Amino acid sequence: MADKPLYNQDNTEVLSHLQTDASKGLSSSEANKRLEQNGANQLNEAKSTNLVQKFINQFKDLMIAILLAAAIVAAFTGEVVDAIFILAIVIINAIFGVFQEAKAEDAINALKEMSTPNASVIRDGKETSIKSTELVVGDIVRLEAGDIVPADVRLIESASLQVEEASLTGESVPINKSAETLQETDLPLGDRTNLGFMNTNVTYGRGVGVVTGTGMQTEIGHIAGMLEATDETKTPLQANLAKLGQVLTYLILGIAVVTFIVGLARGKETIIDMLLTSISLAVAAIPEGLPAIVTITLALGTTRMAARHALVRKLPAVETLGSTDIIGSDKTGTLTQNKMTVEKLVVNTEISDAATTEELTGTYARLADILALNNDTKRTENGFIGDPTETALIAFNENHGRDLDKLFTEMPRVAELPFDSERKLMSTVHPAPTGYIITVKGAPDELLKRATRIEINGEIKPLSDDIRAKLLSINSELATQALRVLGFAYKTVDQIPGNLDTETVEQELVFTGFVGMIDPERPEVAQAVAEAKAAGIRPMMITGDHRDTAAAIAIRLGILDEADKETAVISGSDLDAMSEEQFAQNVDKYNVYARVAPEHKVKIVNAWQKKGKVVAMTGDGVNDAPALKTADIGIAMGITGTEVSKGASDMVLADDNFATIVHAVEEGRKVFANIQKALQYLLASNLAEVIAIFVMTLLGWNILAPIMILWINLVTDTLPAIALGIEPAEKGIMKNKPRGRGASFLSGGVGPAIIWQGILQAVIVLSVYGFALAAPVHPEVHLAHQDALTMAFMTLGLMQMFNAINVKSVYGSMIGPQAFQNKMFNWALLGSVLVMAAVVVIPGLNPLFHVSHLDGYQWAIVLVAGMSIIVIVELVKLIQRSIFKKG
C-alpha cells in the first residue's frame, strides 16, 4: 500500500490497511490507543521569543557593539555626558526594534486556530460528535454541506459532494468529489477527487470518509512543516545596512588605531589623551543616528501606506517593495474577485454580454426563471449561501431587478432529481399555469443530447443537427475564454412523474440557453499591471486553476500576451518534469503558472531569487504561506486572506486590491530614495568630522572633543535627517527600472557624492580653524586656540545642516522653490541651526562644551563658510549635469 497513492487504491484496500470498519468505525478503546500513540489532530506550535530576548537580540549588530564599547571607555575616562548620549541613542533604537517585532503574529499559531471545533464520527457503530482534535487515523467521518473537513480523508461514499479547496489549491470553483478509485498517477491536489483535505469547505452534497492523516501528517500540516523549515529571507534593506555597517566598522577601527599610533609617536599626548581622541574619531565616524533614522523613515512610510490600505507588518518591507523586480500573484481573490459571475448569455443561438442585457423578456425571461428555480442557494440575513456557481445565477436575477420572492412563492419546488456527477445534470419540478414545468441544468454536451427542441424568440422549434452543431461550437468558443458553461432546458408536463429518474424527467427537453460564468478580474487590476510593467516590474500569475482559465485571465489583465499563451504558460506537472537546472535556465520564459502546489510556488520564488531578483509574492490562501515567507516580501490579502497567509506575510492589503501594491511600490521607492538622502547627509558629515579630527591630530592642533562631536551629531542627525525621510518623491520615480538586489545605498552617484562633499566640508572647517589661528581676535594663545576650535565647531555643525539642502537630489539643482517644498524640513533646519548656535550664544553652556563666546566678525566668518557649501555643491552639480547631457 505504501507504494501506491491513496487515490489509486480502492476502498477495501484503504479500510483494510487502516484496520477499520466502514459501518462501525473504530472502537472507543482503539481510538484512544491511537490518539495516545500519534497525538492530537492539531498542528505544532512554533517557538517564540519573549520581550527580554527580543531586546537582547537588538544588540547583536557589530556597529552597535562598537558604540557600546565607546560609551564604556568614555565613562571610565570621565566623559560621562558622552557616554550617556551614546547609550541613549542605542537604547532608543533597540526599543524601536522590539516594538516592531512584538507586533508580528505567528503563522503556525494562526494555522492552529483554523482547526475545526467538531467532527461527526462513527465510533462503536454509533454516530457521535467529538472535538476534531480527538480524531485519529481510521475514524469514519460524515461530511455535509456547511462542514469543514476535519482531517485528511479518503472518501468511501459520495452523494453530489462538492468541496471548495481555494485556500489549499487555489481552485476557485468547488471540486466534484466521488468515492471512485482514480487510475491516473502523479495527480496534483486539485485533481485528487476521491480525497478530502483538512480545513477545506463542503459546499454541497454529503459524503463519508475514512481519516488517513491527522495533525502534521495532513496536507495543511505539510504546509505548516514547510513554514517551520523556511528561513526568513533578508530584505535588501537589511542586507544593505548589514554590509554598510560592516564596512564602516572596519574603517572606523582602522582609522582609530592609526590615529592612536600616530598621536603617541608624536610624543606630545598621553595615552589617555589619544584614547579620548580615538573615541572622538569613533563617535565621529559611526552614524549612530542611522538605525533610528532608517526606522523612523520606514515608520513614516508605513503610516502613509496604511492611509492607502497597505498595512506593513515588518518595517523593512516598505523599502523592499521599492526594489521589487517580480510580483508573483495568486489569481483567486487577488487578481480576481473570488466570486463567480455570469458574463455571457447564449439565447436564440446568439452570444450576448450578461451585463448589457437590460430587459429580460421572451426566451431571456424563461432562462432567468430556470436559473433561479433550478438552484439550491439559501437566503440568509448576511446574503446568499451556497455553491458559488448557483449564487452567481441568483445574483444575475437580482442585478436585473427580478422579484425572486414572488417567483419562489408562485412556483415552489415540489420534486427534484439531484445533481449527479455521472449524468452531470440536475432537475427540479414546479407548478406552472398549466400543469408542471421541469427545469434542467447541467453540462452543455449532456443536456444537448437530451434536448429535441429549442426555444427561439418565444417560439419552440425542432432542434436540428445544424443548430445543435452551432451550439456545441459556441460552447467550445466560450470554454476557450475560460468561462464555465452551463446549459439550461425545460419541458412541461401535466403531472409530476411517478418515477423521478433521468429517463422520465430528463428526456425530450426544450433547450433554452447557455450561461458562461467566470471568476472575473478586478476592474482596477489591468491598469495596475500596466503601471507595474512601466516601472520595470514583471507581474506573474501563480495559481491552482486550470491552464486555460489562468491563461485567459492573464491575457485579459495584460500579464500575458495572446501570442505567448502556448509558450509562456506552464503547469505544475510540467514543472515537476523539469530539473532544478532546467527550470533555472527557463524561468524567465514563463508569466503564468497553472495547477501548482505549495512546493512549486516556493520553487518559483527561489529560482528568481537565484537570478538576483527581488521577489514579491501575493496570496490569500493557506497554500500561499510558504511562498509568502520565502519571498523577499510576502503580501497577504486582508479581507479574503487566511490568518495563515497574514501571519507569514510582510504586508497585508486591507482592501485586497492589487492596485494598492503599485502604490506601495511607489512609496517603497520613495522611502529608499529618502534613506539614501539621509545616508548621504549623515556619512558626508561624519566623513568631514573624521578627516578634520585626523588632520588636527597630525598638525598638533586642539581637536574637537567627544562632546562636541556628539552634540553636532545629535543636532544634525535628528530633525534634519528625519525631515529628509518625508521628502516628496522626485519626478519620474515610477518610470525607472527596479534597482534590484545588487544595488546599494551608495549607488546612483551617492557614494562619490559622500566622498567629495565630506572632503569639501573638512577642507572648509580646517581652513576656518587655520584662518582663526593666523588672524586671532584675541592675542592670547589659549584664547586664540579656543576661538579657533569654537569657530571650527560651529562651521562644521552649520555647514552640515546647509548641506542637507544639497542632498535632496544627487544631481538636480536645489536653487528655487523645490528646495523648500517640505515644510517639516524647513522648520527642522531652522530649529537645528538655533539649537546649534545656542551652546555658543548662551554663556552658561560654554564651559560644558569647551567653547568660547564669538563676536560679530567671527560669526560672519562662520556663516559665510557654512553657507559656501551650497554655492560650491551647486556649481559641481551644474558641471556634472553638463557632462551627462553631452555624454
Catalytic residues, which ones?
Answer: 330
- The DSSP code for 9 is S
b vs e for 516-527, b when ≥16 Cβ sit within 10 Å of the residue's Cβ? bbbbbbbeebbe
Is residue 166 within 8 Å of 621, Cβ to Cβ?
yes
Cα separation of 662 and 882, whole Å? 34
Residues 6+ apart with CB under 8 A from 844: none
By CB atoms closer than 10 A (0-12, 13-18, 19+), residue 350 is exposed
Phi, psi of 856, deg, nearest 5: -60, -40
By CB atoms closer than 10 A (0-12, 13-18, 19+), residue 480 is exposed
**Inter-CA distances, 761 with 79, 865, 881, Å:** 27, 9, 22
By CB atoms closer than 10 A (0-12, 13-18, 19+), residue 814 is middle
Q: Where are the beta strands (DSSP E) in 697-831?
A: none
By CB atoms closer than 10 A (0-12, 13-18, 19+), residue 420 is middle
Grid coordinates in use for 874?
551647486
Q: At what angle do helices 856-886 and 781-806 cross, to 10 degrees?
A: 40
179 Cα distance to chain centroid: 38
Cα separation of 379 and 383, whole Å? 6
Beta pairing class for 651-653 and 633-637: parallel
Residues 6+ apart with CB under 8 A from 682: 287, 289, 290, 293, 717, 721
What is the residue type of 602? V
Q: Which residue has the cell 452551432?
A: 470
Residues 6+ apart with CB under 8 A from 98: 51, 54, 55, 58
Residues 6+ apart with CB under 8 A from 128: 120, 121, 122
- The DSSP code for 334 is I
Query: What radius of gyration, in Å, describes the C-alpha atoms of the chain?
Result: 36
Which of helix, strand or coil describes residue 637? strand
Q: At what angle do helices 290-306 and 80-103 cross, to 10 degrees?
A: 30
Cα separation of 705 and 790, whole Å? 11
**Inter-CA distances, 560 with 530, 538, 554, 804, Å:** 11, 11, 5, 45
Grid coordinates in use for 712?
553636532
What is the residue type of 702? N
Determine which helix (DSSP H) or strand (DSSP E) holds 768, and give its type and residue range: helix 750-774
Q: Which residue has the cell 501548482?
A: 596
Q: Which residue has the cell 478503546?
A: 29
Grid coordinates in use for 213?
492523516
Find residue 211's DSSP bridge partners.
153
Which of helix, strand or coil describes residue 219? helix
Cα separation of 279 and 420, whole Å? 82
Find residue 312's DSSP bridge partners.
651
